[in-house]
Structure 1
Amino acid sequence: MPKQVDYEERRRRIADSVCSLIARSGMESVSLRDVAADAGVSMGAVQRCFRTKDEMLLFALEHVSARVGACAQDRLARSPEPRSAVTLLERTLSAMALAEPEDRTDAQVWLAFVAHAAMSEPLAAVLRETYTKLHDLLVWLIGYGQDTGEFRADADPEQEARTLLALTDGLTAHVLVGHHTPESAHGLLSRYAAGLAAPPR
């Protein structure tokens, strides 16, 4: 009986290989042949999953975008009790900035895709959607802090979310090239989150 192939699992495996190659050698290292070798599948198997290299890259970006978003949600869920708004915001910002040592591979891949998206509208569309979801999460967190009285009532959640999203994206690059350490990046994010705190009553 022919072996059943889980194509979605294979597509995810191929996407992981795309990300691994980008992290090791940059976007220019990604070819169907090299991805097949890294994933341990044949060229034909890759081509059955993706008709073109661009289609493969698009899926890989969607894959890593989902992982970044899930990481933010997971760190949010694992925040210790009691869950203050400041703590929740700090943990979410840390996940979005990809500043932890274990985030380095995702940071390398993320920045490679950001650079490549400047010349690829399909990739740019995926990034815009991801940024929108992260922006909405920050708006919710800031609004939550205002509802609990922990954040300033005069803070504009939309504006603060835009600023924080740009800050975390910039810190991804700064930590990756060594301009910031993970610790200094966390310190900067913590100071910004603390700046949203409502004055003591």
Structure 2
Amino acid sequence: MPRQVDHEGRRRLIAEAICRIADQRGLEGVTLRDVAAVAQVSMGAVQRCFRSKDEMLLFAVGYVGERITERVRARLSGGPAQSPATALGHAATEVALLREEHRAEARVWLAFVAQAAVSESLAETLRISYAALQDLFARLITEATQSAAAPPEPRREARALLALADGLTSHVLLGHLTPDEADEALHTHLAGLWARLDATKPITAGRAG
């Protein structure tokens, strides 16, 4: 009987290989031959999963975005009950990729962002990932400010927070800010948000640990 092939699992394996190569050499260093070698599959197997390098990159960037989003959701659902404001702090920190264990992922993400500036298909995939995160931020802001005397415009605040979190990734990678300084900047912004809202009952924006 022919052996069953887990095509989705193989595509994810290839996406992991692309990320490892991109982390070391940038996206220009991603070749079919090297992807096959790192993934430990044949070049024919790679070609059966993806018709072109562009198709491989599109899947890989979606894979990385999905991994970040799932980690945010897991952080929100795991552990003890937390206020929406604390949950927002955790989510924003995850998106900023400030932890040492996420540094390689941050380098890969920025490589995709740079390439997306000249690739509309990549840009569209990134926009979908950013839109999902912005919607999540907007929902948490809405939940956190239900008792505010001056309710915010959740989508506007979510856009600003997402732009800040995303920008901090670059500043840390370039060495302009340390992870602790970036974390402080992020939570200073959140504290300012709650102060501006003049909530009727205090809300503390917890730091992500």
> TM-score of the superposition, structure 2-length normalised?
0.90
- 2:99: which partner in 1? 100
Does 1:184 pair with 2:181?
A: yes
Question: What is the match of residue 172 of structure 1?
Answer: 169
- Report matched runs for 1:139-158 at 5 Å: 139-147=138-146, 149=147, 153-158=150-155
Q: Is the 8 A contact 1:18 1:60 kept in 2?
A: yes
Deviation per CA, 1:12-48, whole angstroms, max 9, x where unpaired?
0000000111011111110000000000011111011
Where does structure 2 lack aligned partners over 5 or more consecutive residues? 202-209
Distance 2:117 2:42 in 1: 31
Matches of 1:143 and 1:152 in 2, distance apart? 13
Q: Which runs of 4+ in 1 moved over 4 A?
A: none
Cα distance 1:179–1:78, how it changes in 2: closer, same or farther (>3 A)? farther
- Aligned-pair identity in percent equals 51
User: What is aligned with 2:33?
Assistant: 33
Q: Distance in 1 between matches of 2:157 and 2:80?
A: 24
Q: Residue 196 of structure 1 aligns to a residue in which SS? A: helix
- Correspondence list, 1:71-86, <5 A: 71-78=71-78, 80-81=80-81, 83-86=82-85
Q: Distance in 2 between matches of 1:175 and 1:48?
A: 38
**Could you tell me how far 1:78 is from its partner in structure 2?**
2.6
Residues 1-201 of structure 1 aligned to structure 2 (within 5 Å): 1-78=1-78, 80-81=80-81, 83-147=82-146, 149=147, 153-197=150-194, 198-199=198-199
Distance 1:178 1:135 in 2: 26
User: 1:152 and 1:163 mapped to 2: Cα distance?
Assistant: 21
Would the alpha carbon gap of residues 56 and 193 (structure 1) be closer, same or farther in structure 2, given more than 3 Å must change? Answer: same
Structure 1: segments with no counterpart, 5+ residues:
none
Instruction: Call closer, same or farther: CA 1:135–1:102 in 2, change over 3 Å.
Output: same
**Aligned length in residues:** 198
Q: Work out the CA distance in 1 between the residues paired with 2:13 and 2:67.
A: 14
